């Protein structure tokens, strides 16, 4: 009874928040900020274009569906590096861990930092550059909790702090994620998941960088410092609904298929699917395709053209025991630049 009540409560909360946050209006495209919340730094799920709402687990669940945090053996550490839009010089660096704290409860922490390189400082008097440079700081940290009911239903919540800025201006906000996963079937073959992401406070840039010296209308001998007010903006909230099914051919071979729908508040909605072939829990090959509604218009189409793929290799660290190390790689095709490359190193205890 408690499990059913808890699940109904979470689903009702998700639907209420989704009705508030998801206004599915393409005319609002570009009005949200904190685009870093849409970037996935983990390779395993990037190989499927982050469409693993129903099946994601462990550290990577903190980016897609917090309900999957608890679907690990004991503890998982993941280190990730992404060459984002190859040719732009942008890279993502991330670290995260998830661990069980009770029979059914688990917590997780993830940190992501974005390196956009050095940008030349220019002024009205020196439009070609002053010789100095700066590098914006784009970071976010998430703390999540997941509870699993009898391995069938899991619920999860996550709070993420988002920070963007330079030495002179900065914006800070807190975002909220929530999700549910349901597993059933004779061998837990069928999976269903729903998650609501990036619902939170508005962001506003503040700092000395928004000030300027201008003439004093009352005394032209002294200038006055004027502060400009920055327009606030919302986080890019979204609702994900995913399904998946595992075809277990034999104890060593498994083929999984999945489908996913994403309702975006500030851009076009997306739908897609993918597959993954796993051999003996040692090798996995995956690929997916995501379609964005309205993508026929080149001015509205996403930078990603839809195709993605990846591979994972797992090796035991000990002759006896459950400790394993895994290396994941993913590639996502883009219509400009050279695509995005993700690589992750995992340690499962």
Query: What tokens appear for 310 in the block?
Result: 């990846």
d(Cα 245, Cα 252) in Å, to the nearest integer? 17
DSSP string, 288-331: EEEEETTTTSTTTS-SEEEEEEEEEEEEESSSSSS-EEEEEEEE
- Give the torsion sign (CA, 258, 3, 200, 24): positive
Residue 148 parent element (H or E): strand 137-149
Q: Give the tens place of pLDDT for each residue, 168-190.
A: 899 999 999 999 999 998 888 99
* Closest C-alpha among 213, 271, 219 to residue 240: 271
pLDDT band, residue 53 (cuts 50/70/90): very high
Phi, psi of 75 (to 5 degrees): -140, 145
For residue 122, the model assigns a pLDDT of 87
d(Cα 67, Cα 70) in Å, to the nearest integer? 7
pLDDT surpassing 60 at residue 291 = yes
Mean pLDDT score of the chain? 88
Q: What is the dihedral of CA 329, 314, 109, 141, to 10 degrees?
A: -10
CATH superfamily of 2-348: monomeric porin ompg (2.40.160.40)
Lowest mean pLDDT among 86-100, 114-128, 215-229, 334-348: 215-229
Q: What average pLDDT score do residues 282-287 get?
A: 96
Phi, psi of 275 (to 5 degrees): -145, 160
* Closest C-alpha among 174, 171, 144, 138 to residue 70: 144
Name the DSSP letter for residue 190: E
Asked if residues 71 and 148 have their Cβ atoms less than 8 Å apart, the reply is yes
pLDDT band, residue 342 (cuts 50/70/90): very high
pLDDT band, residue 84 (cuts 50/70/90): very high
Q: Which residues does 157 contact at the CB level (< 8 Å), separation at least 6?
A: 66, 144, 145, 146, 176, 177, 178
Q: Give the tens place of pLDDT for each residue, 121-162.
A: 888 888 888 888 888 999 999 999 999 988 789 999 999 999
Domain ranges of the chain: 2-348
Q: Give the tens place of pLDDT for each residue, 218-262.
A: 777 777 777 888 888 899 999 999 999 999 999 999 999 999 999
Q: What average pLDDT score do residues 105-127 get?
A: 91
* Closest C-alpha among 154, 178, 142 to residue 20: 178
**Is the pTM for the entire model greater than 0.85?**
yes
d(Cα 160, Cα 137) in Å, to the nearest integer? 16
- Beta bridge partner(s), residue 255: 247, 277
Residue 333 parent element (H or E): strand 324-334
pLDDT surpassing 60 at residue 22 = no
Q: State which of 1-10, 96-105, 290-299 shows the largest mean pLDDT.
A: 96-105
- Beta bridge partner(s), residue 184: 190
d(Cα 265, Cα 178) in Å, to the nearest integer? 16
Query: SS3 sequence, 251-278?
Result: CCEEEEEEEEEEEECCCCCEEEEEEEEE
pLDDT surpassing 90 at residue 96 = yes
Q: Give the tens place of pLDDT for each residue, 298-313.
A: 666 778 878 999 999 9
pLDDT surpassing 50 at residue 20 = no
pLDDT surpassing 70 at residue 25 = no
In the numeric block, the tokens 């993913």 are attached to 330
Asked if residues 235 and 200 have their Cβ atoms less than 8 Å apart, the reply is yes
pLDDT surpassing 80 at residue 322 = no
Alpha-helix residue ranges (DSSP H) falling in the chain: 2-21, 43-46, 61-64
d(Cα 171, Cα 99) in Å, to the nearest integer? 31
Q: What average pLDDT score do residues 187-211 get?
A: 90
CA angle 250, 290, 254 (to 5 degrees): 5
Asked if residues 82 and 173 have their Cβ atoms less than 8 Å apart, the reply is no
For residue 23, the model assigns a pLDDT of 47
Burial of 197 (0-12, 13-18, 19+ CB in 10 A): buried
- Give the torsion sign (CA, 54, 281, 188, 320): negative
For residue 340, the model assigns a pLDDT of 96
């Amino acid at each position: 009874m408690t499990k059913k009540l808890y699940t109904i409560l979470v689903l009702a909360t998700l639907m209420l928040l989704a009705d508030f946050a998801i206004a599915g209006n393409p005319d609002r495209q570009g009005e949200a900020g904190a685009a870093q919340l849409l970037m996935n730094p983990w390779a395993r799920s990037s190989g499927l274009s982050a469409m693993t709402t129903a099946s994601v687990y462990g550290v990577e669940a903190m980016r897609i569906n917090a309900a999957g945090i608890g679907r690990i053996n004991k503890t998982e550490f993941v280190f990730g590096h992404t060459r984002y839009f190859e040719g732009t010089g942008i890279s993502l660096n991330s670290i995260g861990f998830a661990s069980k704290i009770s029979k059914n409860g688990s917590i997780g922490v993830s940190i992501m930092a974005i390196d956009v390189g050095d940008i030349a400082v220019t002024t009205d008097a020196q439009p070609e550059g002053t010789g100095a440079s700066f590098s914006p700081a784009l970071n976010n940290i998430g703390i999540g909790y997941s509870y699993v009911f009898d391995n069938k239903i899991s619920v999860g919540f996550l709070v993420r702090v988002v920070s963007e800025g330079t030495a002179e201006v900065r914006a800070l906000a807190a975002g909220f994620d929530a999700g549910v996963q349901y597993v059933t079937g004779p061998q837990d073959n069928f999976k269903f998941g729903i998650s609501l992401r990036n619902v939170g406070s508005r962001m506003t840039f503040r700092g000395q960088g928004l000030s300027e010296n201008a003439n004093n209308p009352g005394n032209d001998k002294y200038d006055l410092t004027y502060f400009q007010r920055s327009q606030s903006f919302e986080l890019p909230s979204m609702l994900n609904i995913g399904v998946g099914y595992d075809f277990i051919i034999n104890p060593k071979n498994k083929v999984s298929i999945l489908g996913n729908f994403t309702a975006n508040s500030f851009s076009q909605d997306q739908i897609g699917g993918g597959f993954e072939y796993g051999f003996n829990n040692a090798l996995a090959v995956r690929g997916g395709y995501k379609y964005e509604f309205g993508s026929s218009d080149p001015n509205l189409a996403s930078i990603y053209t839809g195709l993605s793929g990846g591979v994972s290799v797992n090796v035991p660290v000990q002759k006896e025991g459950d400790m394993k190390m895994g290396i994941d790689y993913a590639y996502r095709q883009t219509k400009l630049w050279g695509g995005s490359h993700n690589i992750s190193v995992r340690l499962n205890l």
